[in-house]
Structure 1
Amino acid sequence: MDDLITYLLQFAFDNGVSCALIWKNIDYQSVALPEKKLIVINQNCRNKQELPFIIGHEIGHIMNGDSNAAFYCGKPINSEERFADLYSLNLIYDYASDQFDTFEEPIQFIYEYGIPIRMLNDATELYKKKNNLYF
């Protein structure tokens, strides 16, 4: 997980996104501030396995050109949140592919990389698209 977090933070830096890593109360939500090209990540998140996904999600807000501050709430409540989730999924998938991590099933991928279960259908579609598979 540390290598993935390093990769994500480097990706952000390479794309002009600043990152502030903080340690706050477990209920303090990570946030993207698009106008500042800044993400603020609470490392004391409720589900530590999900931290890389959260980082990717907040990067997604910046890279998608979202216009308002966006807090990670753990579920997509609008299209910006949904697209940030998809951005994170794709970013982590690309990392896993670069590491030659292959999984027979998308469920293995999301468990291994701390991706929320709500992303299973999207991960399945991504697998189909990237691997020309049919489930």
Structure 2
Amino acid sequence: MEDLVKYLLKYAFDHGISCALIRREQSYQSVALPDKKLIVINQNSKNKFELPFIIGHEIGHIMNGNVNGAFYCGKPVNSEERKADLYSLNLIYKYASSQFETFDEPGIFMEQFGIPYRMKGDVYRLFKENDDLVF
């Protein structure tokens, strides 16, 4: 998990995105501030296992060209949130593939990399699209 977080933070840096890692009460949501090319990540989130997904989600807001600040709320309430979720999923999948991680089924991938359950259908589609890979 630590290596994945490092990968995501380096990915952000390589794309001109600054990261502020903070510790606040669990109700404080992580946020992307696209106008500043900054993501603020609360390391004390309710579900610490989803932290890499949250980081990827906030990166996704900026990489997708969103213009408004977006707080991570844990559910896609609009198309920008959904696209940020998908960006994070694909970014983590890319990382796992580059590490030669192998999984017999998508559920194990979700558990291993802290992918939220709401992404289950998307994970299964991703695996189906890439079934010719070593995965």
Same topology, TM > 0.5: yes
CA RMSD, aligned part only?
0.9
Q: Work out the CA distance in 2 between the residues paired with 1:50 and 1:23.
A: 15
C-alpha deviations, 1:53-98, integer Å up to 9, x for none? 0000000000000010000000000000000000000000000000
Please name the residue that 1:6 is paired with. 6
3-state secondary structure, aligned to 1:115: coil
5 Å matches for 1:82-121?
A: 82-121=82-121
- The alignment of Structure 1 onto Structure 2 pairs a total of residues equal to 133
Runs of 4+ in 1 over 6 A off after TM superposition: none
Which AA in structure 2 matches 1:60? G
Cα shift at 1:132: 4.3
Cα shift at 1:131: 1.8
Please name the residue that 2:81 is paired with. 81
3-state secondary structure, aligned to 1:55: helix
Unaligned runs of 5+ in 2: none
Q: Work out the CA distance in 1 between the residues paired with 2:94 and 2:84.
A: 15
3-state secondary structure, aligned to 2:91: helix
Please name the residue that 2:33 is paired with. 33
Q: Work out the CA distance in 1 between the residues paired with 2:2 and 2:127.
A: 24
Please name the residue that 1:21 is paired with. 21
Which AA in structure 2 matches 1:31? V
C-alpha deviations, 1:28-54, integer Å up to 9, x for none? 000000000000000000000000000
Q: Work out the CA distance in 2 between the residues paired with 1:132 and 1:71.
A: 36
Please name the residue that 1:122 is paired with. 122
5 Å matches for 1:65-76?
A: 65-76=65-76
3-state secondary structure, aligned to 2:130: helix
Which AA in structure 1 matches 2:76? P
Q: TM-score, normalised by structure 1?
A: 0.97
Unaligned runs of 5+ in 1: none
3-state secondary structure, aligned to 1:46: coil
Q: TM-score, normalised by structure 2?
A: 0.97
Q: Work out the CA distance in 2 between the residues paired with 1:105 and 1:11.
A: 27
